[in-house]
Structures are given as structure tokens and as C-alpha cells.
Structure 1
């Protein structure tokens, strides 16, 4: 078991007991459209939805300094071990439970130094 997996296990257990900040969430992508030779969309693509656990928090100074930051942006901390695959700025995170339930578009994304979290700047979608 890796350190990020161990951390996620503890974080999920505490949150399930009502003692942690992580809540059930879904990372969503619109899918990849298929175009014809003229550039028209033939099919919009199959949307992708993957479960994960996310904490909604206040942005940090690094996020405030990013291009495109607005005052209502939030920090989204997604446990890497709870999400199959990687996050990118095409994703939307739907937090399905907790005090900050709602959908957030991912404006920026990076990993923390330990590799346990996707650190995202999100905006209410």
C-alpha cells in the first residue's frame, strides 16, 4: 500500500464517521465528440463520470495568484486514491453531499508534494 492510498483510507474512514472534511463526489467530463470531414459534430461523445472524495476549502495564495482567479473560487482537494484516472481542466466536480454540495468547474489542477491530493481551483458551475 502506498502513502497516498494509506492517507486516503484514513481520510475516507474519518469522513464516513462524520469526523472528516471529505464528501462523496463525482468527477465528470463531457466526452470527446466525433466530427465529420466538414467539422460538424456527428456524435457528442459519451460523458464520463467517476466517483471520488473531495473537500471544498478556501483558496490559498498560490491559487489567488493564478490567471483567471475570481473572489468566489474555491479549493477542491480530491483524494487521488479515490479517483480512477487523472483530473484536468475539462472536468467538473460534483460534490454530492456535505455543506458545500454543488458542481464546480475545474479551473486549475496540480498534485500536492506527497501525491495524495489533486489540488484544484474550482468555480461554481
Structure 2
């Protein structure tokens, strides 16, 4: 059975390259929990885990606008599933590395779309 998420990613990235990339290089930054020894001292440093992805920044959806905590500067963050290893949750930060929306975005309301082609959530500069 073909990998639908990978096929969709290829098509989306191909159109993006032809029409002026709505998807930009990015990465998900996951914070790793601090590990303490028996005496309470930090045993391992808090080094973030970086995972590459392709990300689009778009206008917030109606659902995002209606959710608690919405601010007029919030946007939709869309990540192609086949370009990201692992899952995504609201503890992560998405960094767009280039393009008009370059910078770090805190995410909320993250969910996988019904066809499992990507991740979508509300983003706020941070």
C-alpha cells in the first residue's frame, strides 16, 4: 500500500517549488526533561531535541479563533507529516528557518488531520 502522507508531501512540496513555496524549512524543538541524581543535582543538561520538517504558516482557522486564549496575531501552523519524524504536541516549539514567517512559534491545539497527511495547530510567536 502506498504511503499517502509521503505522496502528499511530495506533491505539496513540488507545487510549492513551482508557485513560491508555501512550505518552508523548519524544525520542531522538543525540550528534554532534566534528570536529577539522588542528591537533587542535575545529572544531565537540558539539551533540546531538534527534528527537521517542512512547515506552512497560514491564517488561523475559525476553530482556532473560537478557542479560548485566541489572540489576533495567532496563525495556523501546518507541518507535512512525512517531513517530521515522530509526533507533535503542545510542549514543542516550531521554528520556521526561512521565509516571511521565519522565527519561533509556540503551538497549541495541535492535531493530525483526518487523512493523517499533516499536523495543524495554532501558533503564536515566542
Considering the TM-score relative to the shorter chain, is it more than 0.5? yes
Following superposition, which runs of at least 4 residues in structure 1 exceed 6 angstroms of deviation? none
- Residue 72 of structure 2 corresponds to 71
Contact 1:11–1:20 (CA under 8 A) maintained in structure 2? no
- Residue 56 of structure 1 corresponds to 57
- Residue 107 of structure 2 corresponds to 106
Identify unmatched segments of 5+ residues in structure 2. none
CA distance in structure 1 between the partners assigned to 2:37 and 2:12 by the alignment: 46
- Distance change >3 Å, CA 109–CA 40, structure 1 → 2: farther
Give SS of 1:63's match: helix
Deviation of the 1:104 alpha carbon: 0.2
Contact 1:74–1:121 (CA under 8 A) maintained in structure 2? yes
- Residue 48 of structure 2 corresponds to 47
CA distance in structure 1 between the partners assigned to 2:43 and 2:59 by the alignment: 41
Contact 1:31–1:48 (CA under 8 A) maintained in structure 2? yes
Give SS of 1:100's match: coil
Identify unmatched segments of 5+ residues in structure 1. none
Note the aligned Cα RMSD (angstroms). 1.7
Give SS of 1:64's match: helix
Give SS of 1:10's match: helix
- Distance change >3 Å, CA 37–CA 87, structure 1 → 2: same
Deviation of the 1:42 alpha carbon: 3.6
CA distance in structure 1 between the partners assigned to 2:70 and 2:27 by the alignment: 23
